[in-house]
Amino acid sequence: MPEPSVKGPLWLLAELTYACPLQCPYCSNPLDFTHRHQELDTATWKRVLDEARELGALQLGLSGGEPLVRQDLDEIAAHARGLGYYSNLITSGVGLDAGRVRELKQAGIDHIQLSFQSPEQQLNDYMAGTSAYAHKVDMARAVKSNGFPMVLCFVVYRDNIDQIDRMLELARELEADYVELATVQYYGWAQVNRQRLLPTLEQVRRAELETRAWQERLGSRMKIFFVVPDYYERRPKPCMNGWGSVFLTVTPDGTALPCHAARQLPGFSFPNLREVSVEHAWFHSDGFNRFRGDGWMKEPCRSCDEKDKDFGGCRCQAFQFTGDPANADPVCEKSPLRHLVDEVLQQAVVTSAESPLVFRNPKNSRKIAADAA
Amino acid sequence: MADATSGEPIRLSPKMRLQWEKAQNAHVLLYPEGMVQLNESAAVILALCDGSRTVGAITQELIQRFGGETLAEDVTEFLDVARSHGWIVDA
C-alpha cells in the first residue's frame, strides 16, 4: 500500500518515441531501443495526459528520442495546453524548420530546449553522427524570434568540457534565457561509453570556475546551471527528488517509470499505461512503492541524518555499481563500496582519447544484443 | 521606495505563466522546466502586473483594497525580488 503522505506527480516526462536522427554516444535511452517499436497511439497519450493532470502533474517534458519525429506532436501539444500543462519540448532541432517552429507555438508548446553536442561544429557533428550544427544555430534563432523562452542544453563530457567559455559565448549570442551545462549521466548508451566520456577531476574543477565567473557576470540575464558529474561528489544526488515523489516518466511503449533509467532494474515489473491508469501506476504499483519513504533503506543510509536530503541517492547507480538497487548510492563517501566509483574514475583517466565510442544506432543496438546473447 | 506617479508600467514576463492550480490550492508561476508556488499575496500582486499599472498604481490599488501602513514597503520589496528573478519586466 502507498504511504498516506504520497502526493501525485508534478512532472510528466513523455518519451514519445525512441526514433532519433542523431547517434549521440552519451544517450541515456536503453540499449535495446530497436526492440521497442510499439509506440503509444495519439489517443492513449491524450488519456495519459488527462489522467496525470488530474493527479496534479503540471510540467510536461515532450522528449524521446527526437519528439519531432512524432507526426502527432502538435495534436498532443495542443491537448496538453488545453489541460493547463506547461509544455517543454526537448529537441535536437533536427526536424525543425522556421515554419515548424511557428506551428509549435500555435499548438501551445511553452518552451523549447535545444541541445548542442559542442559549440564547435566539427565535434558537434561528429558526436551527433550527422551535420547538424549550422541547422541548430538557425533553429535557435527561429525559436527566439517566435517568442519562445529558450534553454540551450550542452551535454558535457571529456572532449567538450574544456569548451565552457565557447558554449556560453554561443548561448549569449543566440540569446538563450537559460543554459544547462549537463554533465553526462551514465545510463544506457552513456554507460557503455563511460570510460571515454568521463572528464578528469582537473577538467571538472576548471569548468566549475569558468562557469561561476559567467554566472557572476550575467546574473539573471542568462541563467546558467551546471550539473556536476556526481562521481566526483562526496554525497549522492537527491535522485528524482525521491523515488515516486514528483517525477513520472512514460516510455514510448507506455511503461510508467519513476525515472527514465529505471527499466534496467532487476526484479521489477513496471506498470504499462495501456493496461492500467496513471493513478493505479503511481499510487498502487510495486514499482513505484518499492523505494518510497525510507523503510527499504540499508546501512549506511538507514541511520544517516542526511537520508531525508538525498534519499540514499540514485537507485539505478546503486544497481549499476553494486548489483543491488537498495544499497546506498556508492558515490557517497559513507558507502563501503565507494571504491568501485573511484576505480571507474581511475580507469577513465588512463582511457585514451583515441579509443572508440559506441554510437547510438540500430546497428550497434543489434550488435550489443547479439554479443549479450 | 517606488514613487506612486512615476516609473514604467510593469507586466508579468512573457516567459512566465501564472495560473491557478486546483491540486495545490494555490497560484503557481510556470517557466522553463520549473515552477514556484505562490502565496496569496504574491499571487494578488502579480495578477496586477498586467502592463497597465506602474509599481505606484499597484500599491495604491492594494492599499485601497486591503489597507495597512506597511503595505507599500512590502509590495515594493516583493516586486524587487520578482524583478531580480525575471518574473516581471517593464511593459
Mean pLDDT, chain A, integer: 94
Look up the domain containing B18 and give its range: 10-85
Structural domain total, chain B: 1
Q: Is B49 contained in some domain?
A: yes
Whether residue A4 is predicted with pLDDT greater than 80 in this model: the reply is no
Q: What is the pLDDT of residue B4?
A: 43
Per-residue model confidence as pLDDT tens digits over B65-79:
888 778 888 999 999
| Mean pLDDT of the region A210-216 | 96
Q: What is the pLDDT of residue B3?
A: 43
SS3 assignment, position A125 = helix
What one-letter code names the amino acid at A191? Q
Contact call for A151 and B32, based on CB within 8 A: yes
Q: Is B42 contained in some domain?
A: yes
Q: What is the pLDDT of residue A3?
A: 57
Q: Is B29 contained in some domain?
A: yes
Contact call for A59 and B31, based on CB within 8 A: no
Q: Judge whether A119 and A170 are in contact, CB under 8 Å.
A: yes
* pLDDT bucket at A41, cuts 50 / 70 / 90: very high
| Mean pLDDT of the region A35-52 | 92
Q: Does A227 touch chain B (CB under 8 A)?
A: no
In terms of Cα–Cα distance, which of A105, A188, A96, A194 is closest to A137? Answer: A96
Contacts of A178 in chain B (CB under 8 A): 32-33
Q: Does B35 touch chain A (CB under 8 A)?
A: yes
| Mean pLDDT of the region A24-43 | 89
**Region at A178 (left for phi over 0; alpha for psi -120 to 50; beta for the rest):** beta
Q: Which residue reads 507526426 in cell numbers?
A: A71
> How many other C-beta atoms lie within 10 A of the C-beta of residue A141?
16
Q: Judge whether B65 and B28 are in contact, CB under 8 Å.
A: no
| Mean pLDDT of the region A41-48 | 98
List Cα–Cα distances, A190 to A30, A132, A255, A362, in angstroms.
10, 20, 21, 15
Q: What is the pLDDT of residue A37?
A: 67
For residue B79, give how far its alpha carbon lies from the nearest alpha carbon of chain A (Å): 15
Q: Which grid coordinates are listed for A13? A: 516526462
Q: Is B90 contained in some domain?
A: no
Q: What is the pLDDT of residue A227?
A: 87
Following CA atoms B43, B46, B47, B51 in sequence, which dihedral angle do they give, to the nearest 10 degrees?
180
Q: Does A151 touch chain B (CB under 8 A)?
A: yes
List Cα–Cα distances, B79 to A177, A275, B65, in angstroms.
20, 48, 18
Whether residue A2 is predicted with pLDDT greater than 70 in this model: the reply is no
Q: Is B5 contained in some domain?
A: no
**Region at B41 (left for phi over 0; alpha for psi -120 to 50; beta for the rest):** alpha
Per-residue model confidence as pLDDT tens digits over A293-309:
999 999 999 999 999 99
Per-residue model confidence as pLDDT tens digits over A83-119:
999 999 999 999 999 999 999 999 999 999 999 999 9
Return the bridge partners of A179, or none.
A152, A224
Point out the residues of chain B with pLDDT beneath 50: 1-5
In terms of Cα–Cα distance, which of B19, B21, B43 is closest to A54? Answer: B21
Q: Is B16 contained in some domain?
A: yes
Q: What is the pLDDT of residue B1?
A: 42
**ipTM rounded to 2 decimals:** 0.86
Q: Is B4 contained in some domain?
A: no
Burial class (CB in 10 A: 0-12, 13-18, 19+), A286: exposed
| Mean pLDDT of the region A336-361 | 93
CATH code for the domain of B72: 1.10.10.1150
Whether residue A207 is predicted with pLDDT greater than 60 in this model: the reply is yes
Q: Which residue reads 503557481 in cell numbers?
A: B28
Q: Is B44 contained in some domain?
A: yes
At residue A61, φ and ψ (nearest 5 deg) are -100, 120
For residue A216, give how far its alpha carbon lies from the nearest alpha carbon of chain B (Å): 14
In terms of Cα–Cα distance, which of A203, A257, A260 is closest to A229? Answer: A203
Following CA atoms B78, B84, B88, B89 in sequence, which dihedral angle do they give, to the nearest 10 degrees?
130
Q: Judge whether A165 and A213 are in contact, CB under 8 Å.
A: no
Per-residue model confidence as pLDDT tens digits over A314-326:
999 999 999 999 9
